[in-house]
Amino acid sequence: MSDYSRLRERMVKRQIAGRGVRSGLVLDAMRKVPRERFLPRGQRVFAYDDSPLPIGDGQTISQPYIVAYMAESLALEGGEKVLEIGTGSGYAAAVLAEIAAEVYTIERIEGLATLASTALEDLGYTNVHVRCGDGTLGWPEEAPYDGIVVSAGGPDVPDTLKHQLKTGGRLVIPVGRSKAWQELIRVTRVAEEDFQTEDLVPVRFVPLVGEEGWSQEF
């Protein structure tokens, strides 16, 4: 077992399972995905620390526990179609791809989208599809989705994303009126125009920029 593999096993035991994540699918995915491959070389020594890390362009790769918690909050059972907003380095998309049949992921920063696509292709994730664009508008051609996860904090839940859920599907997104904090919430589509919302945990994410998010100047 490599040093990274040992660190990954310890991360799952202490940071993920040790903090309450119970989904076997999520725990297995976290054990499989090499987080170091989604980081700049200078950051790889910190790959399994319990913290977010910079990946360039003012963006971060989320803390492993938050990636696992958000994935578990989608309540996936395997084989679903999932939309991710905020590809970043591609790490969370890889975790989701270990569970879902197809993952569609959108990144507004072209350089990050390119790097993420390359990393995912190098690791053989043929079921992940990367697009550069405005994530607040979703990926309508592939809708509806069983789950949508947003890795950036918006002022409100984008109405367009809610309506790209299947009935019974779940959207997990950080929402808050400042950069300092957000509340992670889960929206479940229970009927055509009926959505139930739950507050999950306080979080802090980079801003969700786009037509149905914050302006570029925020």
H/E segment holding residue 186: strand 182-191
Residue 194 CB contacts under 8 Å (≥ 6 apart), including other chains: none
Q: What is the 3-state secondary structure (H, E, C) of 17-31?
A: HHHCCCCHHHHHHHH
Active site residues: 62
The single-letter code of the amino acid at 90 is G
H/E segment holding residue 128: strand 128-132
Residue 146 CB contacts under 8 Å (≥ 6 apart), including other chains: 74, 76, 80, 81, 82, 100, 166, 168, 169, 170
Q: Are 130 and 103 in contact (CB under 8 A)?
A: no
H/E segment holding residue 112: helix 110-122
Which residues share a beta bridge with 154?
A: 175
